[in-house]
Amino acid sequence: MTATQEDIHFQADLTRKRLQLRLNEVWLAAGTSEAKQRDFAARLQEHWRPLFALLLRFYGSRYDFFYFAEKVLLAAARAWAERPDDLCELDRHRINQPGWFTSEKVVGGALYVDLFSENLSKLREHVGYFKRLGLTYLHLMPLFAVRPGDNDGGYAISNYRSVDPQLGTIDDLRLLARDLRGSGISLVLDFVFNHTSDDHEWAQRAQAGEREYQEFYYLFSDRTEPDKYEKTLREIFPTVRRGNFTWHDGMHKWVWTTFNSFQWDLNYGNPAVFCAMLEEMFFIANTGMDVLRLDAIAFIWKQMGTSCENLPQAHMLVQAFNHLARIATPGLLFKSEAIVHPDEVVKYIGPDECQISYNPTLMALLWESLATRKTTLLFQALKHRHALPENTAWVNYLRCHDDIGWTFDDQDALAVGIKPFDHRQFLNAFYTGQFPGSFARGVPFQENDATGDMRISGTMASLAGLEQAINENDEEKKDLAIRRMMLLHGVILSIGGIPLLYLGEEWGMLNDYEFVKDPAKAGDTRWIHRPKMKWEFLEELDDHIATGNGSIRSRIFESTKRLISLRQSSPALAGQTMDLFNTDNEHVLGYVRIREGHRLVVLANFSEQLQAVDGNRLRTAGLGRFFRDVISGQPHQTSDPVPLEPYQLLWLNRE
């Protein structure tokens, strides 16, 4: 151990001792039981030193560092003291089962409360629907109080402690969380900690000239600094405004606004911001959250001369928040939302940082394979990008509320003979339906004329060809579109990690072109893939079950539901470990999942042609001579080629 580390430990221990009296005051005021105090003390013992070291690095030079450390510790103590009993009970289970979320039973869904059920109390009436589908994890899109007008789908938050009145109240949220927990469904909410809305109280006080609050944000009196920063920054929303700064007339200052002009980036260089957001985090967690989705995590630290994305300090800040969660809300998980280069995405994942993370690379490459009918690039990326540390997991998804960006690695592409720039151009043309023969009906998002960049909006069904097929009333195309959707679902349900459905997918919901009529949405094409739930579909489904004749929608719904339940009864699909299997057929992706003596081999045909995989090759996958596809029930044997229909997915089990 180096002298400095020893010194830090000494300081940490001393600080803790000096704060013991203040802790006792918290326990006394809240009437915290001795057992609960002991739990806290044990976790503090484990996490205080590393936490202290991190805080010291960021804020150690401040004259009031001791006062800051005290505030942080007391916030944690109060959060634990106020944590409801049922959550503390859950904490105990999860501490003993740190990989609980890697079970094959875990399947997620995401939705907007207003678009799905109007409000929180009505959402409680749909718990049965989630159970019917097999969901055990529910991500509600941001539901806190927001600025009027455009609020970036809830991501411009004006108060982290009150729910948007149109959706309900904090108590409604607590009740919903309790109901869901009772039904075995975990709840996920965003922690939008990179920025607040321009009408958050802090931003308002900054606008009123209060220096203390101006220091919560990045404000500049003239262009000198912004211009210097700008040299190395990307533009995230180039159609909103060029550059990353917005002029504020009232304050006469430039404000750092990475996203929309009304989303003001928070300055974590200021310890007051860390404390304030920590308290908001604990508040949200204690309403009954199992997971917090750390929104825009890549952007939370800025440094001149860098891209201001994925900086080491961003990781350290999240690690500090994570230690604090382990101390005060230990059952809580962090989910990383870093839609960046794959080498960077993975760095946020670890038991000490974010236990789970979106898997944007898999998402983009599944769509890539669908467009090219080849699994070469997907295979290349999966070879070295799927493995994760113990007790962490990918969140595998096909669509979410955001756009699709082609964030694959250029080197991965070059390694298989693909020119990255041209390929992205091709994918954009393909998914906007411009490429001859394309089945996709997406639209551009944030087209940047200066760089030629573009991302894609569109629902899963519209991108997979269902919209085109319905418009052309072509039965064969409809069939192919549905097969594509089931293929993609079958992969995310089996490849290792938490599968996450964006609700609406289970019905094959098409693009909603009506969003342009709402001025608060018209400028953002992502609204095209955020349609309103149509509950009449459910009645239609029940009618069809009664009469035995199914519509496209009920076929999609029933197939999705069935795949989910097959996953949940396949113990081989738990965990994250996946071994690629070389099918010797570029159209067919193959992988093996092995878990505690269970084994499942997956073959996925990404083309609309019949394909086959040599049965003998499958011997090396450990299937034995006779095996069966659990999806179709079809038996196979190694002595014959294994045929795959267009877009067919096989989950092969030893007989």
Residue 51 makes CB contacts below 8 A (sequence gap 6+) with 72, 320, 323, 324, 327
Q: Which is nearer to ligand GLC, 43 or 401 (CB)?
A: 401
* Distance of alpha carbon 507 from alpha carbon 520, whole angstroms: 27
CB of 461 to ligand GLC, least distance (A): 21
Compose the 303-342 pattern: x for residues touching ligand GLC by CB under 6 A, - for all others. Answer: ----------------------------------x-xx--
Instruction: Tell how far CA 38 is from the center of its chain.
Output: 34
- 104, 172, 295, 409: the active-site residue: 295
259 binds ligand GLC (CB under 6 A): yes
In the block, tokens 């030893």 appear at: 654
Q: Does residue 403 belong to the site contacting ligand GLC (CB under 6 A)? A: yes
Helix axes 85-96, 170-182, angle to 10 degrees: 50
Per DSSP, helices labelled H in 548-597 are 552-568
- CA gap 497, 335 in Å, rounded: 13
Q: How far is the CB of 215 from ligand GLC (least distance, A)?
A: 22
Q: Count the residues of the shown chain that bind ligand GLC, applying the rule CB under 6 A.
A: 15
Name the 3-class secondary structure at 147: coil
Q: Whose Cβ is closer to ligand GLC: residue 172's or residue 402's? A: 402
185 vs 340, which CB is nearer to ligand GLC?
A: 340
Nearest Cα neighbor of 440 from 418, 414, 417, 469 is: 469
Tell me what percent of the chain is helix, strand and coil, each rounded to the nearest 5: 45, 15, 35
- The answer to whether residue 152 forms part of the interface with ligand GLC (CB under 6 A) is yes
Closer by beta carbon to ligand GLC, 406 or else 581 = 406
Residues 405-434 that bind ligand GLC (CB under 6 A): 405
CB of 447 to ligand GLC, least distance (A): 12
Does position 295 bind ligand GLC by CB under 6 A?
yes
The least distance separating ligand GLC from the CB of residue 330, rounded to whole angstroms, comes to: 26
Indicate which residue of 152, 198, 337, 506 is catalytic. Answer: 337
Which residue has 């955020």 as its token pair?
A: 530
In the range 233-252, which residues lie near ligand GLC by CB under 6 A? 236
The CB-of-138 to ligand GLC minimum distance in angstroms stands at 17
* C-alpha–C-alpha distance, residues 67 and 281, integer Å: 20
Q: Mark whether 171 is an active-site residue.
A: no
> Which C-beta is closer to ligand GLC: that of 237 or that of 439?
237
Positions of E strands within 237-290: 245-248, 253-256, 263-265
| Residues between 153 and 192 with contacts to ligand GLC, criterion CB under 6 A | 153, 155, 192
Q: For the stretch 476-506, what's the b/e string if a residue is b when 16 or more beta carbons lie within 10 angstroms of its beta carbon?
A: ebbbbbbbbbbbbbbbbbbbbbbbbbbbbbb
The least CB distance from residue 344 to ligand GLC, in Å, is 10
Amino acid at 248: H
Nearest approach, Cβ of residue 528 and ligand GLC (Å):
13
From 102-110, 149-157, 470-478, 604-612, span contacting ligand GLC (CB under 6 A): 149-157
Nearest-CB residue for ligand GLC? 155
Distance (Å, whole) CA 398 – CA 478: 19
27 binds ligand GLC (CB under 6 A): no
Q: State yes or no: is 629 an active-site residue.
A: no
The closest of 276, 359, 288 to 321, measured between CA atoms, is 276
Residues with a known catalytic role = 295, 337
Please give the residue ranges that form the binding site for ligand GLC (CB under 6 A).
Answer: 152-153, 155, 192, 236, 259, 295-296, 337, 339-340, 401-403, 405
